[in-house]
Homo-oligomer: A and B are copies of this chain.
Amino acid sequence: MSFDHSKLRWNGWGLAAHKDAVAADEAVWNWLAERLGMPSLLATPARPLEEIALPVPRLSEQDRAALTAIVGAERILEDDYARAYHARGKSYHDLLHLRAGDLSCAPDAVVCPRGGEEVGAILRFADAQGIAVVPYGGGSSVVGGVTAEKGPLRAVISLDLSGLDRLIDIDPVSQTATLEAGISGPALEKALAAKGMTLGHYPQSFEFSTLGGWISHRGAGQASSRYGRAEDWLVSVKLATPRGLLATEDFPASAAGPRLTDLVVGAEGQFGIVTEATVRVHPVPAVRDYRGFLFHDFAGGAAAIREAVQAELPVAMLRLSDAGETGFYRTFSGLGKRKGLKDWIEGRVLSMRGFDANMAAMIVGLEGDAGTVAYARQHVEAIAKRLGAMPLGTGAGKRWLAGRFHGPYLRDPLLERGVGVDTLETATSWSKLDGLYAAVKTALETSIADTAPRPGARGIVMCHISHSYRDGASLYFTHIFPRTLDGEITQWQAIKKAAGDAVAANGGTISHHHGVGEDHLPWIAAEKGALGVEVLRAIKDTLDPKGILNPGKLIPR
């Protein structure tokens, strides 16, 4: 199994044993209260699982017997912890429900197959019996992608795929690998590293997500400029559907009609369950060079990114924080530490060089052989210098790498103190990027103020460019706000709607790499068009005629 759920948080992020120093540091909370316009930030603990009554499981004895015949009794979990763990993913919205003790959508059972054939057999059973099946990899969805909805069916099982965790084959000549889809990020990279290879797909959820999840939500890792998005590195899949196995094309390229593999990337389990995937891998890079640059403002940094990607420099990552994010992390990391001579000098140097509150920090990631990295570095540095940036050296890069998966952990201590934090991401063309940035920022700030628990309370809205392309880039927003404790869900819905509408009205996609799930469903009809939605429905009706797969996600009904 890819994960030991007993060591992970069922209603929060990651390892239960993880401790954040910030949680116990009252200086942080005092500062944050002031920034949020709140008199104080009181404790808002989550309801413990022991206090929560789960719905009565709806599987019959016959259902259990049929499932037992497929996977064995020990791989059918019906205990409260397993059901609570698999009730939802890890979005802010999910955590509000879970922390409040709402387990109304706990699955009737969690079933843990060992391989593709068992998955196929389970789907045949569920299809025949009219039972919903929610594919569950790492469960790290932040868009409501794995909520155990039963839809109009009589019961729902969460299909935990983390037992499908083997490296099946590696082809070093073609630089491809075939793996079972439930393998976790760390297990996948470990298996590939033993052969000198890497997939290089490092989303922030890397430690707690799976290959199949990356494919199914059409994800992008932090270093996707080098390693590609899921749709770039994916060669083929085996898709278990209620109507049987669909093995997609297995070629480097083809003109033999539309590529079925492309239908599976981003399908969020609507058409079938990815049990196996062949992916393009790289030799483990000889050099990994991450370093920081400080630009005078966001526009200057964005111009540098655009120039670098349009020159097609072989970079792995170009990540630019706006002034808000640059300032936030600078202040946040200094909280509770005594200011010393070094800080004073740093402040003076920045000021003398003309850096003010508008300054924007960039992390440039380069990976590959020594020659390629040197070539890219020389060109990126030249662009940055010409645009007035100050190099921050590899220290900033190393700090970023060390904390690259840490972000989601910050949410739990904030939730414990009445503070909400959510993220959203979008992408658009370069020519629409400024407008989209301004509109979403304003929508978030306004909706947060409008839904705040008291007059004068406000949010912190910050943003970075996380991924870039020749024709555009993604914007990743993080917003921190004081929760309206007697209407948390309503508050979230209002903020989400304002932001999503601003995205749609300004040429952005409703998601660049998180996916659609339940949370982005309201914007899909406009984004895909009425006919486009009909096409998606037609594909689903062909492969999943009874609609047992992951009800309520992706495709508007």
Q: Please give the residue numbers on chain A whose beta carbons come within 8 Å of chain B beta carbons, in ascending order.
A: 171, 173-176, 217-220, 229, 231, 235, 241, 243-260, 262-268, 280, 306, 310-312, 314, 368-369, 371-372, 375, 379, 427-431, 467, 469-474, 507-516, 520, 523-524, 527-529, 531-532, 534-536, 538-539, 541-543, 554-555
Contact = CB atoms under 8 A, between A and B. Distances in A.
Taken together, the copies of this chain in the complex come to 2
Listed from nearest, the 4 A-B pairs whose CB atoms lie closest are A252-B472, A254-B509, A174-B429, A262-B262
B244 A531 contact: yes
Contacts of A429: 171, 173-174, 176, 250-252
Contacts of A529: 246-248, 260
A255 B251 contact: no
Given A251-B508, A253-B469, A538-B541, 8 more contacts: A173-B429, A248-B532, A249-B528, A250-B429, A252-B470, A256-B524, A257-B524, A258-B266
B532 A246 contact: yes
A512 B252 CA distance: 9
A509 B256 contact: yes
Given A176-B471, A312-B314, A255 B217 contact: yes
A174 B312 contact: no
22 contacts: A173-B430, A176-B471, A218-B258, A235-B471, A241-B531, A245-B531, A250-B429, A250-B507, A251-B472, A252-B427, A252-B474, A253-B512, A255-B266, A255-B513, A255-B516, A256-B520, A257-B524, A260-B528, A260-B535, A262-B262, A280-B470, A375-B375
B259 A266 contact: yes
Nearest to A469: B252
B312 A372 contact: yes
A131 to B, nearest CB: 21
B256 A516 contact: yes
A375 B251 CA distance: 29
Contacts of A554: 257
Most buried by B among A174, A260, A371, A473: A174
A258 B543 CA distance: 15
A535 B539 contact: yes
